[in-house]
Amino acid sequence: MYKIIFILIFISTSVFAQKPELAYSYYRNGEYEKAITLYKPLHEKNKVRRDYFKNLLTCYQQLDNFDLSEKLIQQQLKDFPNQKYLKIELGYNFQLQDQITKANEYYDETLNEIKKNPNYVYAIGQAFSKNHLLDYALKSYQIAKDLNPKLVTEIQVAQIYGEKGELEKMFNSYLDLIEINEKYQPTVQRYIGKFITTDSQNDSNKLLKKLLLIRSQNNPQDAYNILLSWLYVQQNDYDKALIQEKSLFARNQLNTLKIEEIGKISFKDQDYKTAKKSFQFLLENTSDNSIKIDAENYLIQIDIMDSNIDNSKIEQQFQELFKIYGLNNSTIKLQLTYADFLTYEMDLPQKAISLLENTQSLSASSLQKGEIKIKQADILVYTGKFNQALVLYSQVQIQLKNSTLAQTARFKVAQTSYFKGDFNWAKVQLRVLKSSSSQLIANDALALNLLISNNIDKDSVQKPLQLYAKAELLSYQNKNQQAIDSLDIILISFKGHPIEDNTLLKQAELFKKEKNYTAAENNYLKFIELHKESVLIDDAYFYLAKLYQNELQDNQKAKKMYEKIIFEYPSSIYLVDARREYRNLRGDDI
């Protein structure tokens, strides 16, 4: 018996809990009569709920039931006489009936309530805004502010200006908060972030930059430098962001965190010049060994990528660093970088594996052990020991289940299976990773899955894809000429195959590594000639533009390639970069 009563109570409670959701669903879909049948009892049972009242009122008004609307408002005023904003609802109800004079009388009467008590402005201003009476809303906040300057109404005012499209007034209102208290900086940043893009020439970006520079000159505050630095990072102008952070550091030398962040993000985005400046600054301005080791690790990676620095000199740098900081737990990341250097630059994989065996014994955390294990497996792939590598990757998957490192290991399993030519097993792994919590892993998984899916022939002839996978493995092993030769077979023997566009791009990349820039140019031009409809066409234009700009020193041709992306491929992921580089080549002040 008790069970039946409990079940009935549970069902009754569940049904009632669903009513607000169903009512809102009807309301949102414009089914106002159905919404009224639910909102009416909800409002009567809980009259303090403003959303029930407002939605019920809107339903009546949408159905032109203005008499019922007025009765509802009058009853609410009777029940809650201190809710002064309800006079706005009365006025708006008359406005919907084109009785503007009467509506304005109620609006003005409500404004007079603010004069009696400025604290009423928050409810009154919100009511004006919700009924799209933006000028009245602004007037209400101005009256309150004049009467009580300590009231903080800047966010509400800024939002109204944003709705009106008056961006300069909006930005200034948000920035006025910083004049009140610098602690509002994170709040301001969160709000203005909705109007900022990655394009430095976007009108909103340019306007915000101008206003921040003016304010920082007239009334220097850290918050303005922080916002300028943040703005430059959004635009990928890392060097300018670093200048702001150095200014902040000069005032407070206790915090190097932001300079570290700029170093790391500029390194990730391949702005090695700014990354190098950031990490060199840290070395010169901190006594914290962990920060120094991290900076040294990034700096030596930048040197490794610099073809003008001899490997023997880099080897010497590593030995000096290990002499200073030791081969211990604090230098594990530096040891992993050294293992990469030994393998991929010096072709000494066995020495790297021996190093990592010692590094594994130094690691304290399971995540560190997993990271080292993945590095060991990577080197085994480099040496062609696929099965041993797969065992290590799988161990990380099991031991660090659901972590980002486990997802990385799963992707490596898929990639290694792909290198082996086991495309079906690779696809099984990649399918799981498409919903990875790491966007980078998810994107890599999607790209490899598409490559495999799009290039397996229906008649099961997999030779072109096998050759392409072999070329990617050879490239991974730094056997660039052999990889080029493998791709040549595809281009000669399998003309017109779907993988031809990928092949031309991959081979061009390898030609660049081998400094055969003319051959790389020919590949890009051939791609553009043969594969105008390819989803990779904007890749070809962008890579060719960078080739002209950086290696072939032909800025006119580079500009033409950037123009192609800007004017013909506006949805390209390279659009913002193409615009920036084009303006840079044109000599614009960016």
What are the tens digits of pLDDT across the range 400-455? 988 999 999 999 999 999 999 999 999 999 988 876 667 778 888 899 999 999 88
More confident residue, 460 or 524: 524
Residue 564 sits in the same domain as residue 511: no
Determine which of 93-97, 452-456, 507-511 has the lowest per-residue pLDDT on average: 452-456
Residue 499 sits in the same domain as residue 552: no
> Can you tell me which residue has the tokens 């590095």?
375
**What pLDDT shows up at residue 4?**
45
Determine which of 117-131, 179-193, 245-259, 269-283 has the lowest per-residue pLDDT on average: 245-259
Percent of the chain at pLDDT above 70? 95
- Closest Cα to residue 226, out of 251, 245, 198? 245
In the predicted model, what is the mean pLDDT of residues 547-555? 95
Q: Which of 481, 507, 526 marks a domain boundary?
A: 526
Q: Which of 508, 526, 544 marks a domain boundary?
A: 526
Q: What single-letter amino acid sits at 455?
A: N
Residue 509 sits in the same domain as residue 553: no
Q: For the purposes of burial, counting CB atoms within 10 Å of the CB of 325, is it exposed (0-12), middle (13-18) or buried (19 or more)?
A: middle
Specify the number of domains making up the chain.
2
Distant-in-sequence, close-in-space partners of 514: CB < 8 Å, separation ≥ 6 = 480, 481, 484
Does 211 have pLDDT greater than 70?
yes
In the predicted model, what is the mean pLDDT of residues 150-166? 94
In this structure, is residue 522 part of a structural domain? yes
Distant-in-sequence, close-in-space partners of 58: CB < 8 Å, separation ≥ 6 = 27
DSSP code for 417: H
In this structure, is residue 562 part of a structural domain? yes
> What whole-number distance in Å separates Cα of residue 419 and Cα of residue 413?
10
The domain of 554 spans 535-590
What are the tens digits of pLDDT across the range 344-370? 999 999 999 999 999 999 987 999 999
Residue 504 sits in the same domain as residue 460: yes
Three-class DSSP category at 496: coil
In this structure, is residue 85 part of a structural domain? no
In this structure, is residue 477 part of a structural domain? yes
Residue 461 sits in the same domain as residue 506: yes
> Residue 479: CA atoms inside 13 Å, Cβ hemisphere, count?
14
In this structure, is residue 570 part of a structural domain? yes
Residue 471 sits in the same domain as residue 490: yes
End-to-end Cα distance, the chain: 77
In the predicted model, what is the mean pLDDT of residues 51-62? 92
Q: Which of 480, 495, 526 marks a domain boundary?
A: 526
In the predicted model, what is the mean pLDDT of residues 447-465? 81
Q: What mean pLDDT, rounded, does the chain reach?
A: 91
More confident residue, 518 or 15: 518
**What pLDDT shows up at residue 5?**
41
**What pLDDT shows up at residue 461?**
62
In this structure, is residue 459 part of a structural domain? yes
pTM recorded for the entire structure: 0.83
> What whole-number distance in Å separates Cα of residue 15 and Cα of residue 18?
5
- Closest Cα to residue 344, out of 476, 472, 480, 511? 476
**What pLDDT shows up at residue 3?**
47
- Closest Cα to residue 108, out of 76, 133, 80? 133
Does 589 have pLDDT greater than 60?
no
Calculate ∠ Cα 514-520-524, nearest 5°: 155
In this structure, is residue 489 part of a structural domain? yes
Q: What is the per-residue burial (b if ≥16 Cβ within 10 Å, else e) of 307-317?
A: eeeeeeebeeb
CA dist 341 → 336, 357, 384, 531 (Å): 9, 16, 18, 37
What is the CATH number for 518?
1.25.40
Percent of the chain at pLDDT above 90? 82
In this structure, is residue 86 part of a structural domain? no
Other Cβ atoms less than 10 A from the Cβ of 38: the count is 23
**What pLDDT shows up at residue 423?**
93
Query: Are 322 and 331 a contacting pair, CB within 8 Å?
Result: yes
> What whole-number distance in Å separates Cα of residue 141 and Cα of residue 413?
61
Which tokens is 248 given? Answer: 């902040």
Residue 463 sits in the same domain as residue 517: yes
DSSP code for 8: H
- Closest Cα to residue 408, out of 384, 382, 444? 444
**What pLDDT shows up at residue 18?**
55
Residue 520 sits in the same domain as residue 544: no
Cite the beta strand spans of 425-499 per DSSP E: none
What are the tens digits of pLDDT across the range 126-145? 999 999 999 999 999 999 99
Separation of CA 135 from chain center: 35
**What pLDDT shows up at residue 75?**
93
Helices 134-147/121-130 angle, 10° precision:
170
**Helical (H) or strand (E) element with 19:** helix 2-28
